[in-house]
């Protein structure tokens, strides 16, 4: 209702009809049950993501035939064979035509075949995701936990050397390109020190029987590198939010009631930081996935990020769309979880009424 209120208050007289139509739409939209609205949003997101990915592939100058068969093979290939391959990989088709065909199949659950991996997109994405999951989860958790702790500690010791050290470190980290940091880590810890393997998710030549410890050993370096830039982001945001909370009226009052600084941080600080921390953590999901593309490439880690690079460079539209949809789903799920948890944590949101700023 507040939307309608501001809409009608500020709309010029000529816009009155437009805003009333928009208003009616908003009212109708709000009457739909929340789970249905969320589902509609999700479907719209999937359509938009898949269409944009197709459009980007179509706009890319990469010829899938040339990119995938190799230079020598391409040159010695007969024109008929080239045309056959181009048709099979959909190179010459128009964007809408291609997208329409893909969408028609996708609705029935068929996401197509990956050109580069010669396998169904669903199984390639599933396999790569399973391989990346450990990396992503470790990096996500580490950046969240370490970043939050550093942010709170920096604020609690505001102005001290520790605070300045943490902030300086964070500025340095956020100014550092992830891939460069990854190469540095690779040189130092894998090449010179030899603590960790130089690449891949499993020992070279190992069959399917790889122990969890070995997987972890391979994941540590990329996961740490991936989490580092996230740490800076989370720590600086958390520090700002902690400053806000510690400068609030309720913290001042708690202080004037004789509550100790430690008790204030634990009882009021952490409680009120949970919401912004949740928001940050969920926003961090997309950051981590974005970073994984670069980090996996440097560490030759056969995950989703590396597959995305392969698909992009090979003009492998079905695989790229599959990866985009999978990652968009993960990010969407993260934000959905944040929304649901807000209601659990904040009593002001529980009755479906958001008292923002009031």
Instruction: Enumerate residues 229-248 that contact another protein by CB under 8 A.
Output: 248
Between 81 and 267, CB nearer to another protein: 267
207 binds another protein (CB under 8 A): no
Return the residue of 40, 171, 253, 290 that touches another protein, per CB under 8 A: 253
* Residue 299 CB, nearest approach to another protein (Å): 41
Contact 98, 54 (CB under 8 A): yes
Between 135 and 265, CB nearer to another protein: 265
Which parts of the chain are beta strand (E)?
113-114, 119-120
With 0-12 / 13-18 / 19 or more C-beta atoms within 10 angstroms meaning exposed / middle / buried, residue 289 is buried
259 binds another protein (CB under 8 A): yes
Long-range contacts, 206-214 (Cβ 8 Å, 24+): none
Q: Give the residues across from 120 on adjacent strands.
A: 113
Return the residue of 6, 8, 160, 260 that touches another protein, per CB under 8 A: 260
Return the residue of 60, 63, 267, 335 that touches another protein, per CB under 8 A: 267
**Binding residues for another protein, how many (CB under 8 A)?**
23
- What is residue 113's DSSP assignment? E
CA dist 320 and 52 (Å) reads 11
* Residue 5 CB, nearest approach to another protein (Å): 20
- What is residue 160's DSSP assignment? S
Structure tokens at 76: 């010695």
256 binds another protein (CB under 8 A): yes
Between 218 and 268, CB nearer to another protein: 268
Long-range contacts, 258-266 (Cβ 8 Å, 24+): 261/156, 265/152, 265/156
Find where tokens 């600084």 sit. Answer: 261
Between 108 and 257, CB nearer to another protein: 257
254 binds another protein (CB under 8 A): yes
* Residue 256 CB, nearest approach to another protein (Å): 5
Query: Which residues make Cβ contacts (< 8 Å) with residue 316, sequence separation at least 6?
Result: 64, 68, 114, 115, 116, 310
Give SS3 for 114.
Answer: strand
Instruction: Enumerate residues 126-165 that contact another protein by CB under 8 A.
Output: 159
Print burial letters for 214-236: b (CB count within 10 Å at least 16), e (below 16).
ebeebbbbbbbbbbbbbbbbbbb
Contact 303, 292 (CB under 8 A): yes
Return the residue of 194, 207, 347, 352 that touches another protein, per CB under 8 A: 347
CA dist 312 and 54 (Å) reads 11
CA dist 135 and 138 (Å) reads 5
345 binds another protein (CB under 8 A): yes
255 binds another protein (CB under 8 A): yes
Between 106 and 254, CB nearer to another protein: 254
- Per CB under 8 A, which region of 16-24, 139-147, 204-212, 250-258 contacts another protein? 250-258
CA dist 264 and 271 (Å) reads 10
Instruction: Enumerate residues 325-344 that contact another protein by CB under 8 A.
Output: none
Site track 213-232 with another protein (rule: CB under 8 A), x = hit? --------------------
Return the residue of 258, 344, 352, 356 that touches another protein, per CB under 8 A: 258
* Residue 237 CB, nearest approach to another protein (Å): 19
* Residue 165 CB, nearest approach to another protein (Å): 19
Q: CA dihedral defined by 12, 14, 15, 21, rounded to 10 degrees?
A: 140
272 binds another protein (CB under 8 A): yes
Structure tokens at 346: 């904040």
* Residue 257 CB, nearest approach to another protein (Å): 5
348 binds another protein (CB under 8 A): yes
CA dist 204 and 32 (Å) reads 54
257 binds another protein (CB under 8 A): yes
* Residue 152 CB, nearest approach to another protein (Å): 16
Contact 39, 56 (CB under 8 A): no
What does the binding site for another protein look like in residue numbers (CB under 8 A)? 159, 248-250, 252-260, 263, 267-268, 271-272, 345-348, 355
């Amino acid at each position: 209702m507040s939307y309608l209120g501001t809409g009608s208050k500020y709309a010029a007289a000529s816009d009155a009809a437009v805003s009333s139509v928009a208003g009616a739409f908003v009212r109708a939209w709000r009457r739909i049950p929340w789970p249905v609205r969320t589902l509609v949003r999700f479907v719209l997101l999937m359509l938009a993501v898949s269409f944009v990915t197709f459009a980007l592939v179509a706009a890319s100058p990469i010829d899938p035939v040339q990119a995938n068969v190799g230079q020598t093979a391409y040159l010695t290939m007969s024109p008929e064979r080239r045309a056959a391959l181009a048709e099979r990989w959909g190179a010459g088709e128009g964007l809408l035509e291609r997208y329409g065909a893909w969408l028609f199949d996708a609705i029935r659950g068929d996401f197509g075949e990956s050109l580069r991996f010669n396998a169904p997109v669903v199984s390639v994405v599933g396999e790569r995701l399973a391989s990346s999951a450990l990396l992503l989860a470790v990096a996500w958790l580490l950046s969240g936990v370490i970043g939050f702790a550093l942010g709170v500690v920096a604020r609690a010791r505001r102005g001290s050397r520790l605070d300045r050290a943490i902030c300086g470190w964070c500025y340095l980290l956020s100014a550092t390109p992830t891939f460069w940091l990854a190469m540095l880590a690779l040189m130092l810890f894998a090449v010179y020190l030899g603590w960790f393997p130089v690449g891949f998710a499993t020992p070279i030549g190992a069959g399917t029987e790889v122990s969890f410890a070995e997987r972890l050993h391979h994941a540590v370096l990329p996961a740490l590198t991936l989490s580092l830039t996230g740490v800076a982001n989370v720590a600086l945001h958390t520090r700002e939010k902690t400053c806000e909370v510690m400068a609030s009226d309720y913290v001042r009052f708690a202080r004037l009631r004789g509550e100790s600084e430690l008790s204030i941080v634990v009882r009021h600080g952490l409680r009120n930081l949970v919401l912004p921390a949740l928001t940050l953590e969920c926003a961090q999901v997309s950051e981590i996935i974005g970073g994984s593309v670069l980090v996996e490439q440097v560490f030759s880690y056969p995950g989703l990020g590396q597959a995305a690079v392969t698909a992009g460079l090979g003009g492998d539209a079905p695989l790229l769309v599959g990866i985009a949809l999978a990652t968009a789903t993960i990010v969407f799920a993260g934000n959905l979880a944040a929304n649901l948890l807000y209601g659990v944590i904040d009593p002001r949101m529980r009755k479906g009424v958001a008292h923002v700023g009031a």
